[in-house]
Structure 1
C-alpha cells in the first residue's frame, strides 16, 4: 500500500489589461532590507503580525464565495493574501493603502514595512524542510518584454517574497499561457494544470502564487473498510472509517460538531459538521473568536469516524468578489502600480485563484504517536460517539508552527469533484 496523502494545491494570478528571469541586484540594493541568517532567527516571530489578519480576511472572503457558490467552495488564504500583499509592494499611494487595508491591516498599528516583513517570515517558515510532510509555497511574476520593471521592485519581491520575475511575450499569448501553465504544473507536481486558459494580447503582467501540501494522516484509514462500504453503496463518495482517539467537541450554541484530525507533521485539519439544516447558521458564526473558543474546548476521546474520500477543487475570478470586502479601486483605471513598472499605471483586469484538495485513506503511522493514540483495548465497541460526515461540512487546514490557514472550504458534494 503506497503512501497516499491529503493534498492542498493553490495558484493565484493577477493579470493587467519561455522566459528569462530579470536580474536581481540583491545585497547591493539600498532599498531592500538586508537579512542575514542571524537576523532571520530574530525575524521568525514576525509572522505573528500578519497571520491573525490573514485568518480574518479568509473568513470574510469565504462568506462572499459561499454566498455565490451553491456547491463546493475551496481556496487557499495564504496563497491569495500573499499574492495581494506582493502586489501592494508595487503599488503607490492610495492603491497600496487600499490593498493592505482591504486585507484587513490597520496601517497605524502595523505599517507596511512590518506587513511585508511578516509575510517574509511566514513564507520562509512555511518553506522550511520537514521530514514529516511537504509544504511548498512560491511566488513568480511574468512581465511583458515591453515593460521596464523597477529594479527596486524586483529586488524587494525577491528578498521579501522569494519571487523571481520573468520576461514574457504576451503578444504570443497562447504560447506564453502554455509556458505559465507548465510552470504551475511543475511547481505543484502535476496537481494544478491549465489554470490560465485565456491570456489576452494586452496582458502585461501575471503575478503567480502557488502552494503545495502533502502529508500523511497520523492515524491512516483502512482502505479495506472503505472498499467494503463501497460495495454496498453506489453513486456516492465512499466513506472512510476508523475508530481512533481524536479531539472534538459539540457546540450547542452554534449547532455543530467540530473535529480536529492530526497529520504526522506540523499540520492539523479542522472539520466542522453542522447539524442538519444549520449550515448557514454555522457559516454566520464563523469568526476568529469562534475558532479560538473551539480551540480551548477540545476534548480527546475515542471516536467512530466516517469521513468521505473525495477530491474537489475551487476556481474563482476574484475581481468580482474582492470589491465586496474593500478591494474596489485596484480595479479602476486610476490604480497606481508604477512601483512595478512605469508603464503599468493601469487597471488590473483579472484576479484568478484555483485550489485542489484530495483526501484519502492511506498514510504511514508514526510509531510513538500511534501507540499513544491507539484504541484502548478495554473500551466497548458501542461506547464511542459517532461523527458521520454524510452531509455538507467545512474544512480548515492549519500549519501548526505559524498557526496559518492554508486551506478553507466547504464540501457540499464530495462526489462532485
Structure 2
C-alpha cells in the first residue's frame, strides 16, 4: 500500500484549495492515437448498450412525467473506475449491473482505454472530450494498483485535497466546470465527514449538423406536452435524405453531425401510441434491431429547438438494477481501494446533464460523481413527413462503436 503522494508525481496534484479558481485549465496530454473500432472489445460495447437502455428505462419508470436526459457513457466511465476497487459480492453486483460478467477486470480496463481514445478522435467537426478524475482526501493511504490503473486506463487526474476545507467542493466543481466548458458548474454540494474519495467523470459534446437547419425555416408550432397541454414552441424545419425508420410504434430519424460518425436519433410515437409504450418496448435487443432497420429515405422533418438541464441522484436506480450492496456500509467491499480499515461503501452517485439543440447543431455535457465513504442498395422511396410536436425519445449515438453518449425523453421542451 502506498500513500497517494508517492504515485506517479506527474499526475498527482495538490492544488491550493484556498483559491479554487486558480486551478490550471490544462488537461493531461497523452500520446494516444485513434484506435480502430476493431480493437474495441465488442463485449464492452454490448455491455454498455445493455446498461444504457436499462438505466434509462428505470429512470423513466421513476420520472415519466418530466424531461429526462442522461449520459450512460458518463455513468459507465465513473462506475468502471470504481469497479476497479471492488471485491467479492460487491464486485459481482457491479458486474451484473454494468453487464460486465463475461469480462475480466483487465479486459474491462483495456476496452475502456480503447473506447475513450476512439470516441475522442473520430470526427474533427465534432468535439467530444471525456475527462476522469479521482479526488482523494488529504493524508489517506490508497492502494497503489487502484490509483495506477485509474491513471493508466482512464487517464484520470489524481488530486489530493483537504475535504475539511470549506471550499473543497468548489475546487472539485471548478474542475467539472472547466471540463464541461461551463455547461455544468457543480456536481458536489456537500462532502460528508467520512468521505475519503470522489471518482468523477465529465463529458463534453459539441457537434454541428452535417446539414444545418435554416434559421428562417424555424417557426412557432403547437407542441402537445405529456399532460395534454398545448403551447407554441419553435420547430426547426428541413427536407432531404435521412436514415429513417417507421414501425407500428413510432417514426424514427437519424440526424447526423459532421462526417456522420455521431447522430441525433429521434423516436416519435405514432399519434395513437404513448411514449411509455415505446419505452416499455425498449431493451438492448430491440434497440439493436431498431438501429439495423434504418434506411435512407427522402422526407421532411420538423424538430423542436430546446435547452435542458437535468440532475438525478442515482442511488435508488442503481439499487433497483442490482447494486444495492455497494451502498450497504455493513456489506460493501471496496478493499482494492484501501486495504486497511475502515471498510468503504459508496455514499452517493450523482449525475448532471445539459443539452442545447438548435439550427447549428447540439451542445451537451454530463458529469457523474461517485462518492466513497469509510464505514467502519437503394430503391425509390415515398417521402416521409415527421413533425416532432409531442413527447419523444432521443439519443446521441456514436455509430461506429454503437456507444450511446446521451439518451433522454422530452415531454415538454
Output the TM-score relative to the length of structure 1. Answer: 0.80
Counterparts of 1:143-158 in structure 2 under 5 Å?
143-158=136-151
Give me the CA root mean square deviation. 2.9
Cα distance in 2 between the residues matched to 1:125 and 1:399? 10
Q: 1:38 to 1:81 in 2, by over 3 A?
A: closer
- Structure 2 residue 182 is matched with structure 1 residue 182: no
- Structure 2 residue 42 is matched with structure 1 residue 45: no
Structure with the higher fraction of residues in helix conformation: 1
Q: 1:264 to 1:316 in 2, by over 3 A?
A: same
Cα distance in 1 between the residues matched to 2:150 and 2:113? 10
- In structure 2, the partner of 1:261 is 255
Aligned residue pairs, count: 364
Q: How far did residue 22 of structure 1 move? A: 4.3
Q: How far did residue 194 of structure 1 move? A: 2.3
Structure with the higher fraction of residues in strand conformation: 2
1:121 is paired with a residue whose SS is: helix
Counterparts of 1:156-171 in structure 2 under 5 Å?
156-171=149-164
Cα distance in 1 between the residues matched to 2:120 and 2:126? 11
Aligned equivalent of 1:339, options 313, 336, 341: 336
Counterparts of 1:218-297 in structure 2 under 5 Å?
218-226=210-218, 228-229=219-220, 236-252=232-248, 255-265=249-259, 266-276=261-271, 277-297=273-293
- In structure 1, the partner of 2:370 is none
Q: 1:43 to 1:413 in 2, by over 3 A?
A: closer
Structure 1: stretches of 5+ with no match in the other structure = 1-20, 28-35, 365-375
Q: How far did residue 38 of structure 1 move? A: 11
- Structure 2 residue 356 is matched with structure 1 residue 358: yes
Cα distance in 2 between the residues matched to 1:251 and 1:230? 25
Output the TM-score relative to the length of structure 2. Answer: 0.81
Q: 1:220 to 1:354 in 2, by over 3 A?
A: same
Decide which moves more: 119-128 or 160-169. Answer: 119-128
Q: Deviations over 1:209-253 (max 9, x none)?
A: 010111110111111221x5379xx9533111111211112112x
Cα distance in 2 between the residues matched to 1:310 and 1:40? 33
2:276 is paired with a residue whose SS is: helix
Cα distance in 2 between the residues matched to 1:23 and 1:215? 40
Structure 2: stretches of 5+ with no match in the other structure = 11-29, 223-229, 363-379
Aligned equivalent of 2:69, options 52, 61, 74: 74
Q: How far did residue 37 of structure 1 move? A: 7.8
| 8 A contact 1:338–1:344 mirrored in 2 | no
- In structure 2, the partner of 1:8 is none
Q: 1:184 to 1:356 in 2, by over 3 A?
A: same
| 8 A contact 2:314–2:348 mirrored in 1 | yes
Higher RCO (CA < 8 A, seq sep 6+): 1
Counterparts of 1:313-324 in structure 2 under 5 Å?
313-324=309-320
- In structure 2, the partner of 1:192 is 184
